[in-house]
Amino acid sequence: MAWDLVVVANRLPVDRVQLPDGTAGWRRSPGGLVSAIEPVMRAHDGCWVGWPGGTDQDLEPFEDDGMTLVPMTMTRDDIEGHYEGFSNGTLWPLYHDLVAKPEFHREWWDSYTQVNQRFAEKAAELAEENATVWIHDYQLQLVPRMLRELRPDLRIGFYLHIPFPPAELFQQLPWRRQLLEGLLGADLVGFQLPGAAQNFIRLVRQRVGHKTHRDLVYLPDGRTVRAAAFPISIDAAGFEALATSPAVAERAQEIRDALGSPRKVFLGIDRLDYTKGIYARLRAFSELIKDGHLDVEDAVFVQIAVPSREQVEQYRILRDEIDRLVGRINGDLGRIGRPAISYLHSSYPREEMAALYRMADIMVVTPYRDGMNLVAKEYVACRFEDDGALVLSEFAGAADELRQAWLVNPYDINGMKAALLEAYQAEDKELTRRMKAMRKTIKQHDVVAWAQGFMSELSDVRNPHSKPVRPARRS
């Protein structure tokens, strides 16, 4: 069967896992990418190509929750070289401002190239004539060019969900030119923020030598490629509806009671990733207790860390560091039945997330660098009573839109302490003023608007072979 829209992402929205009874089952995949593309898929009649987790699993295409999913097989070598290696050991730290040290290995690059080629071939096989293919994220940056070589009739979009670094960092990559040329296979290359699109255009000019003007790149074959910002968002109405439901209200109350009904609850929800600044934020909170500004009878910090990339060494080290820190803080500062930090290493369904957002007074999102951070937006969407405080890193893409949050520099522990305390002590009137403004922004720029914005720009690209695409339907 051939499709009018093919979405290509490293991951499928569901992950193949082994259940406690030993049988295989499916679990929702972690991360912002999946949350953003899911509603797009529901609004279109297309298929989604991606990795279902695990190794060496030959699975047939299947339907899940109204979506057609096409699983790609990955071998242990693919996982080591393409996924854990080049994607998450080289590109991820490099694109996040070197928060960790990237490693450069030629065999990782070879594996990345091979896997990208397989994804391109699969997309070429599934797309009908003149179809639109939308490729996602840093794991697949070579696919646009590979796919164009196989299928010049296609309209190809690419969207990067993570930051795109300044030239000074990007040019460390031994394969910088190939990656830029890979992306230039697309008609439209989308980024989270305008600065990232500018970094890309500048690099294309300097490193590949193409002519550029503003957001356009002129290729020798007559094609033009556009690079622009499309800040990603969430299903704001869906989250609000969940948060207002009686079941979620009841669950929120249950969680608060279980915490011992403290006066205020701080909340952090992140994939357990070194870019997220979890360690620094927990230290800042614990120092506020140590200094006597907060008391464990009044305040508790709930930190949810969603397991992520557990085979990658830097992630294992981080997990141990956080385990130790939480143990030390609770040992030093907690009382019987009153830990300072309630720490959970687990992932939760949307309903439980909505209950957590609903019960938390202060949401703390402090990454060192983050493409957007959808958790910050989800919290705002769930605060239907215009209350609650958001403490947000300046280095999250979301800070560009959520200006009324308490903005912090996560490298500045004293600054973070001051912001946490201010948010804790803020008057209701102040909270409402800030939250109202942020909610307005989120409602206007939801994920449907994001997808429509990208798709309509993509359909406007006038290139020799491509025909217009159908506009997205509102679900």
**Helix H or strand E encompassing 457:** helix 447-460
Q: Which stretch binds ligand G6P (CB under 6 A): 25-33, 166-174, 201-209, 384-392?
A: 25-33
Among 6, 33, 217, 447, binds ligand G6P (CB under 6 A): 33
Q: Cβ neighbours of residue 167 under 8 Å, at least 6 residues apart?
A: 199, 202, 203, 206, 207
User: Could you say whether residue 78 binds ligand G6P (CB under 6 A)?
Assistant: no
- Shorter beta-carbon distance to ligand G6P: residue 79 or 255: 79
CA–CA gap between residue 327 and residue 323 (Å, rounded): 6
Among 38, 80, 137, 240, binds ligand G6P (CB under 6 A): 137
For the record, the structure tokens of 24 come out as 């295989």
CA–CA gap between residue 8 and residue 384 (Å, rounded): 34
User: Could you say whether residue 32 binds ligand G6P (CB under 6 A)?
Assistant: yes
For the record, the structure tokens of 358 come out as 């609903």
Pick out residues in 207-226 that bind ligand G6P (CB under 6 A): none
Count of other CB atoms within 10 angstroms of residue 214? 10
3-state DSSP call for residue 23? coil
In the complex, what is the shortest distance from the CB of residue 431 to ligand G6P, in angstroms, rounded to a whole number?
29
Our answer to whether residue 21 is catalytic in this structure is: no
Our answer to whether residue 235 is catalytic in this structure is: no
- Shorter beta-carbon distance to ligand G6P: residue 88 or 459: 88
Q: Which stretch binds ligand G6P (CB under 6 A): 24-32, 54-62, 223-231, 359-367?
A: 24-32
How is residue 335 annotated by DSSP? B
Instruction: Please choose, from the candidates 198, 311, 302, 204, the residue with its C-alpha nearest in 3D space to the C-alpha of residue 255.
Output: 302
In the complex, what is the shortest distance from the CB of residue 314 to ligand G6P, in angstroms, rounded to a whole number?
13
User: Could you say whether residue 308 binds ligand G6P (CB under 6 A)?
Assistant: yes
Among 162, 225, 265, 469, binds ligand G6P (CB under 6 A): 162
In the complex, what is the shortest distance from the CB of residue 31 to ligand G6P, in angstroms, rounded to a whole number?
3
Instruction: Please choose, from the candidates 369, 380, 382, the residue with its C-alpha nearest in 3D space to the C-alpha of residue 435.
Output: 380
Instruction: Please choose, from the candidates 402, 407, 411, the residue with its C-alpha nearest in 3D space to the C-alpha of residue 436.
Output: 402
User: Could you say whether residue 31 binds ligand G6P (CB under 6 A)?
Assistant: yes
* Gap between the terminal Cα atoms of the chain: 24
User: Could you say whether residue 161 binds ligand G6P (CB under 6 A)?
Assistant: yes
Count of other CB atoms within 10 angstroms of residue 334? 16
Among 309, 377, 383, 439, binds ligand G6P (CB under 6 A): 309
- Shorter beta-carbon distance to ligand G6P: residue 15 or 287: 15
In the complex, what is the shortest distance from the CB of residue 136 to ligand G6P, in angstroms, rounded to a whole number?
7
In the complex, what is the shortest distance from the CB of residue 223 to ligand G6P, in angstroms, rounded to a whole number?
27
In the complex, what is the shortest distance from the CB of residue 90 to ligand G6P, in angstroms, rounded to a whole number?
14
User: Could you say whether residue 30 binds ligand G6P (CB under 6 A)?
Assistant: yes
Pick out residues in 393-452 that bind ligand G6P (CB under 6 A): none
Q: Which residues pair with 269 in a beta bridge?
A: 304
Catalytic residue among 78, 235, 273, 370: 370
User: Could you say whether residue 11 binds ligand G6P (CB under 6 A)?
Assistant: yes
Instruction: Please choose, from the candidates 156, 158, 142, the residue with its C-alpha nearest in 3D space to the C-alpha of residue 466.
Output: 156
Q: Cβ neighbours of residue 261 under 8 Å, at least 6 residues apart?
A: none
CA–CA gap between residue 240 and residue 243 (Å, rounded): 5
Catalytic residue among 44, 161, 210, 445: 161
CA–CA gap between residue 85 and residue 103 (Å, rounded): 8
- Shorter beta-carbon distance to ligand G6P: residue 192 or 286: 192
Task: Please give the positions annotated as active site.
Answer: 161, 370
Which residues contact ligand G6P by CB under 6 A? 10-11, 30-33, 137, 161-162, 308-309
